[in-house]
Amino acid sequence: MSIKRILAPTDFSEVSNKAIDVAVAIATKGDAEIVLMHTSLPTEGINSNVYAAIYIHEYLEIKRKNLQQMAERLKEKGFDGKITTDNKVDFTVPSIVNAAAEFEADLVIMGSTGTSGLSGVILGSTAGGVLSKIDHPLFLIPKDYVLPESGHLLIGTDYKTAVDPGSLNIIEFFKEKLNFRIQLIHIEKEGEENVDREKYVRDNFKSLIDGSISIPGGKVEEALLKLKEKYTNAVLCTVTKKRNWFENIFYHSVSKSLAHYSDVALLCLHEE
């Protein structure tokens, strides 16, 4: 159980700074490296009348310096782990998804909302795009979230979907290093196929689960949001299923639905 590298995309906004604070707190607990990345859109810094290559170079250099200064500030605040900075020129969603693979990130931590325009990429509008394409664990941080000393991780489950090893590693990290209690949340549906729930938990979560809650009817996201109000410092967690492009057209994603709530800390994991 370890986290070696955290990817932290930033648009230099207050929201992304909050996410970086969380990344630092988690990296400190796990002795992990932080990769600070910023994506400059291909059209950023281009004069509308004249394409000036020198001007573009200077513009991107400012972005690189901003990242470096951010890394230096984190060091000044006491973070003693390794920090790598990387400024991409690309479109936001593929940039973040590709960087997660490039740096072999164990966890991607980013703000669930952000700013737009030349000041930075639009993290808020791309959160759904990133979580629908990325195959690395993703932690979406709302603007007022502070990582607590202890909390609850509420995992929505159907008692069928198995989590992949990387996702299980993150759940174990939340329990052992962040002192979170792990709860499974299941929506009981009429006519649902019976499964051996105890076996499912043993096979997929070892001894990590502290309890389970079953709720009759309703939607998973609605149940998770209601339970979040009950449990202090709760993080909602979903396990995304692998689907082909045709299935995705008709697929209702709980993760995407929850990502629209700006006050929700959302951990998005993946099936095996």
Average pLDDT over residues 78-101: 93
pLDDT value, residue 46: 54
Q: Mean pLDDT throughout 156-173?
A: 92
pLDDT at 51 over 70: no
Closest residue by Cα to residue 269 from 123, 177, 148, 163: 163
Give the pLDDT score at 233. Answer: 83
Q: What is the band of 120 on the pLDDT scale with cuts at 50, 70, 90?
A: very low
Work out the average pLDDT over 182-208: 86
Sign of CA dihedral 12, 15, 18, 20: negative
| Residue 126: HSE in the Cβ half-sphere, 13 Å Cα cutoff | 22
Compare 34 and 16 and report the one with higher pLDDT: 34
Cβ 108 vs Cβ 7: under 8 Å: yes
**pLDDT value, residue 94:** 92
The pTM (predicted TM-score) of the whole model is 0.86
Write down the pLDDT at residue 119: 39
* Res 194: pLDDT: 80
Of the pLDDT bands very low, low, confident and very high (cuts 50, 70, 90), residue 47 is: low
pLDDT above 90 covers a percentage of the chain that reads 45
pLDDT tens string 204-232 = 988 999 999 888 877 777 777 788 888 87
Of 6 and 144, more confident: 6
Q: 192-201, 208-217, 235-244: lowest mean pLDDT where?
A: 235-244
DSSP characters for 194-238?
P--HHHHHHHHHTT---EEEEEESS-HHHHHHHHHHHSTTEEEEE
Q: Are strands 234-240 and 266-270 parallel, antiparallel or unpaired?
A: parallel
* Residue 115 reports pLDDT greater than 50: no
Phi/psi at 222 (nearest 5 deg)? -65, -40
* Confidence tier at 1 by pLDDT (50, 70, 90): low
Confidence of residue 263 (pLDDT cuts 50, 70, 90): confident
| Top-confidence range, 15-19, 34-38, 156-160 | 34-38
Q: How many helices (H) and strands (E) does the chain have?
A: 9, 10
Report the pLDDT value the prediction gives residue 183, as an integer from 0 to 100: 94
Q: Which residue has the higher pLDDT, 150 or 121?
A: 150
What pLDDT band is residue 37 in, cutting at 50, 70 and 90? very high
Give the model's pLDDT for residue 202: 92
pLDDT at 29: 94
Is residue 95 scored above 90 in pLDDT? yes
Give the pLDDT of residue 257.
Answer: 61
The pLDDT score that the predictor gives to residue 123 is 45
